[in-house]
Amino acid sequence: MRVCVFGAGAIGGFIAAALARSGVDVSVVARGAHLEAIRTGGLRVSSDLGDFTVQVKASNDLRDFGDLDYVLLTFKSQQWDGVLPQFERAIAERAVFVTLQNGLPFWYSPDRALESVDPGGRILRMIPYDRIIGGVVHASGHIAAPGRIRQSGGMLYPLGELDGTTTQRICALSQAFAAAGMSAPIEPEIRRNIWRKLVNNLALNPVSALTRATVQRMLSDAPVRALLRAIIEEGLAIARASGVEPGVDADERLKWAEHIADVKTSMLQDVEAGRPLELEPIAGAALELARHHGVPAPHVETVYALTKLLGRNVQSA
């Protein structure tokens, strides 16, 4: 099995390192000082699997690698525009693309591109629909230093074919994750799993960015917790209007969040680092569906507008 992890940051870097340690032929796409550190010293990991270092092939361009069985997409969705040309070779060579990204994926509706994620439908037209596997990340982490990753928050990475079938290719990938110490159960309704995570991200990520508060600090503040609950409820209503029953309620989602370590969300980390915010695939896409289906979402609208302005201010600072 030959796997490339496109986006070897906190999540992708850990997945790549765990797979490589178990014997999978792994390559990674990374950038800048992080890339150079991986090339010279490997991926150094502190994690729920222990501390270890692995050597992997690394480049800033997917086209530098030969035939691939799987390309795991772990970069942030706002980066699609700059990397899409790199996918032509892997598409031609029939690689399978596995989306392990926050928010709603570009493939969410096969016949209607989400403008928030895929303006004009370029990604949906380019990547064959039958070569996509959906995935969800239930873990956290950060890049402690170039080439050094700290992971926490569990080992759960559900995978699902978009049509709900169980194929040889998804079984092989699930088994590879398991052999590496990670759990990747095959889910027949991957959209349901995506929404379960999305409604939490929809609430926790923007509010943390606006308040600079960690997860547990937000949950322990009664007025903020009430706001988070209202946002989750609106997100669940949007999911149902789009044809997906998440099978959870807001109270269950808040209780699930209570089990997360008292960490900074990825969006808060991006604010503090002055990076672009991963807002559109999370809040922008949810609002796009809300408007399409006529679902009122006033709390999401408000938080989205404020966080969008915050993102512009962070970038201009």
Based on the number of CB atoms within 10 Å of its own CB, is 156 exposed (0-12), middle (13-18) or buried (19 or more)?
Answer: middle
CA-to-CA distance for 29 and 27, rounded, in angstroms? 7
The 10s digit of each residue's pLDDT in 118-171 is 999 999 999 999 999 999 999 888 899 999 999 987 899 999 999 999 999 999
pTM above 0.85, yes or no: yes
Note whether 26 and 174 are same-domain residues: yes
Note whether 32 and 150 are same-domain residues: yes
**Domain range spanning residue 57?**
2-188
Tell me, what DSSP letter sits at residue 134? E
Note whether 175 and 255 are same-domain residues: no
CATH code (residue 141)? 3.40.50.720
Place of tokens 């926050």: 102
Two tokens at 91? 């598409």
Give the model's pLDDT for residue 50. Answer: 94
Note whether 306 and 276 are same-domain residues: yes
Answer with the one of 169, 188, 207 that is the final residue of a domain. 188
Note whether 180 and 144 are same-domain residues: yes
Give the model's pLDDT for residue 226. Answer: 98
3-state secondary structure of 99: strand
Note whether 121 and 217 are same-domain residues: no
Tell me, what DSSP letter sits at residue 137? -
Answer with the one of 159, 188, 217 that is the final residue of a domain. 188
Give the model's pLDDT for residue 176. Answer: 98
Two tokens at 77? 């969705």
Note whether 39 and 127 are same-domain residues: yes
Strands 132-135 and 159-161: antiparallel
Give the model's pLDDT for residue 107. Answer: 96
Note whether 172 and 247 are same-domain residues: no
Name which of 42, 82, 43, 77 is nearest 62 in CA terms: 82
Give the model's pLDDT for residue 81. Answer: 87
pLDDT below 50 — which residues of the chain? none
CB 43 within 8 A of CB 54: yes
3-state secondary structure of 109: coil
Answer with the one of 134, 159, 188 that is the final residue of a domain. 188
Note whether 68 and 16 are same-domain residues: yes
Note whether 293 and 276 are same-domain residues: yes
Catalytic residue list:
197
Note whether 10 and 142 are same-domain residues: yes
CATH code (residue 277)? 1.10.1040.10
Note whether 22 and 109 are same-domain residues: yes
Place of tokens 């149902």: 240
Domain count, the chain: 2
